[in-house]
Amino acid sequence: MSIKFYLSEWFYNMGIVGFLRILKFNNVDESKYTTKENYFEIEDELLDNFAEYYFNYFFAINDDRERFKRRINEATGLIENYDKPSESFDQKASAENISKAIKNVYDYFKKYENSVKNTSYVDEYNDLLNSIKEMNRIIKKDTSIETLEEAKSILNNLLDFVSIEEIRKKRAANITRSNLSDFFGQASFLNPSFAGAYAQDFIEKMHRDYVQPVREKYNQDASKKYKSKTIYNCSLCSRETSGNYHFDEAMFSPIGLSLTENNNFLWNEVTKLPICEECRILLMCTPVGCTPLEKYRSTIDGIEYYTEYTFVNLDTDIKSLFKINENFRQRSSSSNPYRELIFDIVTQMEQKALWTLQSIFFVEFQTDKKSTYLHYFNIAPFKAKFFIDKQVHYLLGRIKPHQFQMDIMEYILTDRDLYLLISDELRNYLKKAEGKRGDRRVIVGDPVSCFNAVCLRHLLNGYKRRQKKVSTKIINDAFEYGKELNRYYVATDSANKINSIGYKMLNAVKVGDKEEFLDNLIRTCMSIQKPIPDFFLNVLTEQRADFKDIALAFICGFTALPVDVASKEKVSNEEV
């Protein structure tokens, strides 16, 4: 018999994408499953090996030998270069670097402790752990050739140890168990008592708890017994079920509820939402369907790095849904995956791209112990037209540094005013130092990048007002006039006045004081006997452009480094 999974809510669709990824990763015969326009279909016999397929996927992506090997190679490389001193060689500093690298290896090797428990390798593991700890102590005092060679030998032994298949799979199994806790409660193989279990134990447990109930349901003899029970309808797909399972935080913790503790969540105080055996398996695939992104946020103690999961929902057809999430995952390691995905879509035919962008729905979520933070955003029709404008692609590609570009993209997608970012970036630039966004220090973008962001804001607001064609001419004119005044100040050795004037104008823009901005502009022009262009009258009327756009464009041009000076700092900007 076949089992069908129809497109539905975003998390359900995420399970469909995950299911497909698992099958494709294991090279499962495509005759055993099909993708139609609005549903995904499998033969029930395919489930016989599904638990193995499932963990084959996770054991592969959670095999951390390469991460451990990088630490080994770092320490080994420092040891080998120690024998090749150069003119700038500092023996004490080099020895300290080797010691730090070996300590890094030791700390990582300690993480294998749970994977070694209850195996025949416990004694060997403890010996190696003590050896590398002792070597780290010795090498601080003795960096002779014999000591360094012994250190290399121990490092190689460590690498051989973590490559033992039993240890490697057990380690991957426990990493998998830890990562899946972001998605599910403590059911089945995620129960605390299962910590430290073998890889095969995970496979067998999943087969018993998730696959076997479905196979029994579809077994002809069992089906008669099943039909004799009270029948319920699945709360996710309306399929018939015996009511043995219920949708709660154990099934999918980002949106699941403990209904027994929230009995007035539903109008009739129902505390159970039945879920069918088939949907339980599908939800287990949700971690595979999303894309993890490494992000950061500022805290009282400094910078905190965390993982945020992203899924791109598309209510069109299964193939398009799968393809767009594959594209996003392939770009997840880039500096701006959202920008790259959107402009990948824009390269399609214009009408198709417009339709696709308007159909996209982004879901971001992260878990923090028992709390879940969900964030949804889609692309409105005016924003879709904005993204297919060729000027937008050009301008975004010329914004530095990458984090500033990433922030701009996020602000656009989440309907936040770009003015806040641009203003902060300009202020950071005027300080002539490294800027701060949150608590993370980054090299700030130059005023030209800020000007490109101003153009994006002007275009976006134009499309939001439903203008058929948005021109940036007045923004460009304000920028060029700012550059003209800048050149005069530099040529007359008055460049030291630029920053103070720039700050005053930024403050006027911040409080929305048009008269104060114009007063500063008039004073500046009169002091050097320069006429004020007519387009600045728009600052008061705002007929052709927003006050902030014109003002910021002028400030960007006025504070930008002259070409000859900017070329000297080009290298430092390109390193970002």
CATH of the domain at 86: 1.20.120
| 3 state DSSP class of 310 | strand
Q: Percent of the chain scored above 90 by pLDDT?
A: 31
For residue 335, pLDDT over 80 is answered with: no
Assigned domain for 199 exists: no
Domain presence at residue 521:
yes
Q: Which residues contact 305 (CB under 8 A, 6 or more apart)?
A: 294, 295, 296
Cα–Cα distance for residue pair 320/345, rounded to 1 Å: 11
Model confidence at 564: pLDDT above 50: no
Model pLDDT for residues 479-506, shown as the tens digit of each residue: 999 999 999 888 888 888 888 898 999 9
pLDDT at 350: 67
pLDDT at residue 570 is higher than 60: no
3-state secondary structure at position 372:
strand
Looking at the fold, whether 455 and 325 belong to one and the same domain comes out as no
Same structural domain for residues 415 and 483? yes
Say if residue 305 is in the same domain as residue 405: no
Confidence tier at 535 by pLDDT (50, 70, 90): confident
> Which residue among 104, 138, 168 closes a domain?
168
Average pLDDT over residues 191-213: 87
Is the four-CA dihedral 302, 306, 311, 312 of positive or negative sign?
A: positive
Which of the listed residues 141, 168, 195 is the one where a domain comes to its end? Answer: 168
Q: Return the H-helix or E-strand segment holding 540.
A: helix 538-541
Residue appearing with tokens 């402009």: 343
Top mean-pLDDT range of 111-120, 337-346, 562-571: 111-120
3-state secondary structure of 1: coil
Lowest pLDDT segment from 9-13, 265-269, 317-321, 510-514:
265-269
Co-location of 513 and 465 in the same domain = yes
- The pairing of strands 240-241 and 39-43 is unpaired
Spatial separation of the C-alpha atoms in residues 47 and 59, rounded to whole Å: 19
Confidence tier at 575 by pLDDT (50, 70, 90): very low
* pLDDT value at 71 more than 70: yes
Each residue's pLDDT tens digit, 213-256: 998 888 755 555 555 567 888 888 888 888 788 887 777 778 76
387, 465 Cβ separation under 8 angstroms: no
What distance, in Å, lies between the first and last C-alpha atoms of the chain?
56
pLDDT > 70: what percent of the chain? 87
Does 323 map to a domain?
yes
pLDDT of residue 343: 79
Predicted confidence (pLDDT) at residue 18 exceeds the cutoff of 80: yes
Dihedrals phi, psi of 439, to nearest 5 degrees: -115, 10
Same domain as 440, residue 538:
yes
The confidence score (pLDDT) of residue 107 equals 92
Q: How many CB atoms lie within 10 A of CB 423?
A: 19
Percent of residues in the chain assigned helix, strand, coil, to nearest 5: 60, 10, 30
SS3 214: helix
Find where tokens 């990763």 sit: 25
User: In this structure, are 349 and 445 located in the same domain?
Assistant: no
Please check whether residue 532 lies inside any domain of the structure: yes
Average pLDDT on 182-202 reads 83
* 399 shares its domain with 524: yes
Average pLDDT over every residue of 387-416: 87
Neighbour tally for 525: CB within 10 Å? 16
- Residues of the domain holding 490: 380-576
Predicted local confidence at residue 568, as pLDDT? 35
Q: Which residues pair with 366 in a beta bridge?
A: 373
439 confidence band (pLDDT: 50, 70, 90)? very low
Residues 386 and 353 in one domain: no
pLDDT tens-digit series, residues 82-94 = 766 665 556 777 8
**Count of domains observed in the chain:** 3
Strand order in the sheet with 2-6: 2-6, 39-43, 33-35
Residue 93 corresponds to which tokens in the numbers above?
Answer: 């500093």
Classify 238 as helix, strand or coil.
Answer: coil
Are residues 469 and 352 both part of a single domain? no
Mean pLDDT (the chain) is 83
Q: Tell me, yes or no, whether 514 lies in a domain.
A: yes
